[in-house]
Amino acid sequence: MRWVDVERDGWESALAAVQREGVDIDPAIEDAVLAIISDVRARGDAALLELGREFDSEGLCSLAVDPAELDAAGDRLDHAVREALEHAAASIRAFHEAQLRTSWFQHADGKIVGQLIRPLERVGVYVPGGRAAYPSSVLMCAIPARVAGVREVVVCSPVAKDGSVSPAVLYAARLAGVQAVYKVGGAQAVAALAYGTATIPRVDKIVGPGNTYVCAAKRALWGVTDMDMLAGPSEVCVVADETADPRFVAADLITQAEHDPDCAAFLLTPSRSIAEQTQQEILRQLDVLPRRAIAEKSLMERGACVVTRTLDEALELANACAPEHLALLVENPFGVLDKVRNAGAVMLGHWTPQTAGDYMAGPSHTLPTGGTARFWSPLNVDTFLKKTSIIALAEGALLSAADDLIALASAEGFEGHAAAVRTRLQHDRRSDTVVDEEVCDDAD
């Protein structure tokens, strides 16, 4: 890991060490993705099958997973895995049910304003697959959508070489209330969900993580349908004081580093002793890690240890980093939580590994990366809700606002807007219509 000492190297060097670029996509990949999108839009299912045979399984002959296979998926799982998925699903559902909101209205002086809050009709979840299975991603994306009231949730995931989808993914889909699973991966899955094909329905929003091709497709099709975010490689920032256990610090850094060589891990601490012990502990833990080569490359090329002068300085660097995962391994984590401004998820205290957030705690693990926690939130119930503004004026309320409305419309050069008010003022019969404030009680 790169080593930076704020006192020796300066604040700017520390900032440079922890800040990451957003999703950066090679122009050649963008061109390839645009070609895939065009092909899927033109040829639909035929293009999907052809691309699936090229990239995933040579024997791919259908796009939809048989509902009977979905129903039987749980029987093919080890009991412990099945039970763990069920426990995770219950925690995720309970957390997101607490986020639900309803439509609201305010009324005063003959005016009603408010919002109708309605779920999206259909959502597509992209789940990476092929060489690995990610049932947790199904739960973390699909359950919040169903809790929000989304009528139809479908999943797209690439198949393994033998043409199968992991039974763990299929069982997670059943637990989450997914209506259909399609054997499609990559940019072509995003295109199919955005435009629709004979087999795959067009959706209102696409969510879920993916590789660079998936991110490029999401960026290219943003506006054709909505997207959750452009998620890049994972990252963790650990803020540790002198009370931290170097074994825990090292393990938390490795947790994200083992995902991918492009992932990043940062240790920010005012304790030189903790920094030095953690470095040694990382080497010891890497020796027995099955994914050692991946984690080692990530830590060597994209990791950094920054020794700060104070804990407050470490927290300020964490805000500048705006990490996907922020771990506070400090004596009083709740005491410093109010200083956290930018993070996707915060793990507080020595006994809260990121593993809990990734699988079981309840909040979705679909989080903003690459510093985008400065302006994006984790996937949540609101991700799947849309708001419609409601405005209703009684005659008296319009009369009270008329002069201001006409002045503003005229100032902007929109005489038609001003006329819409004047016409009502010149009407020779006062309306008997009043705004019924009781609508507020029934509008939900």
- pLDDT, average across residues 227-240: 92
- pLDDT, average across residues 423-440: 60
Dig out the tokens for 31 from the structure: 């061109």
- State the catalytic residue, choosing from 258, 296, 324, 350: 324
- pLDDT, average across residues 108-120: 95
Report the pLDDT value the prediction gives residue 4, as an integer from 0 to 100. 97
Report the pLDDT value the prediction gives residue 434, as an integer from 0 to 100. 45
**Helix (DSSP H) and strand (DSSP E) numbers for the chain:** 19, 14
309 and 349 in contact (C-beta within 8 Å)? no
Which positions ≥6 away from 338 have C-beta within 8 Å? none
Report the pLDDT value the prediction gives residue 189, as an integer from 0 to 100. 98
- Does 439 have pLDDT greater than 80? no
- pLDDT, average across residues 26-51: 97
d(CA 40, CA 197): 8
Q: What share of the chain in percent tops pLDDT 70?
A: 95
184 and 165 in contact (C-beta within 8 Å)? no
pLDDT tens-digit readout, 351-371: 999 999 999 999 999 999 999
Alpha carbon of 140 to those of 126, 163, 383, 436: distances in Å? 11, 25, 12, 42
Report the pLDDT value the prediction gives residue 22, as an integer from 0 to 100. 66
Dig out the tokens for 423 from the structure: 């016409």
d(CA 366, CA 359): 11
Any idea of the CA torsion for 436, 437, 440, 442, to the nearest 10 degrees? Answer: -50
Q: What share of the chain in percent tops pLDDT 90?
A: 90
Nearest Cα to Cα of residue 329 among 245, 236, 234: 245
Dig out the tokens for 26 from the structure: 């090679």
- pLDDT, average across residues 46-65: 95
Report the pLDDT value the prediction gives residue 20, as an integer from 0 to 100. 81
Report the pLDDT value the prediction gives residue 144, as an integer from 0 to 100. 98
d(CA 331, CA 338): 15
- pLDDT, average across residues 184-199: 98
Dig out the tokens for 68 from the structure: 């009977």
d(CA 99, CA 6): 40
- State the catalytic residue, choosing from 235, 313, 325, 350: 325
In the predicted model, what is the mean pLDDT of the chain?
94
120 and 202 in contact (C-beta within 8 Å)? no
- pLDDT, average across residues 24-29: 88
Question: Is 325 labeled as catalytic in the residue annotation?
Answer: yes
Burial class (CB in 10 A: 0-12, 13-18, 19+), 102: exposed
- pLDDT, average across residues 56-80: 94
- pLDDT, average across residues 295-314: 97
Which positions ≥6 away from 161 have C-beta within 8 Å? 56, 57
- Does 10 have pLDDT greater than 80? yes
DSSP string for 426-438: T-SS-------TT
pLDDT tens-digit readout, 135-188: 999 999 999 999 999 999 999 999 999 999 999 999 999 999 999 999 999 999
pLDDT tens-digit readout, 245-297: 999 999 999 999 999 899 999 999 999 999 999 999 999 999 999 999 999 99
DSSP string for 242-297: TTS-HHHHHHHHHHHHTT-TT-EEEEEES-HHHHHHHHHHHHHHHTT-TTHHHHHH
- Range name among 18-22, 87-91, 119-123, 381-385 with the lowest pLDDT average: 18-22
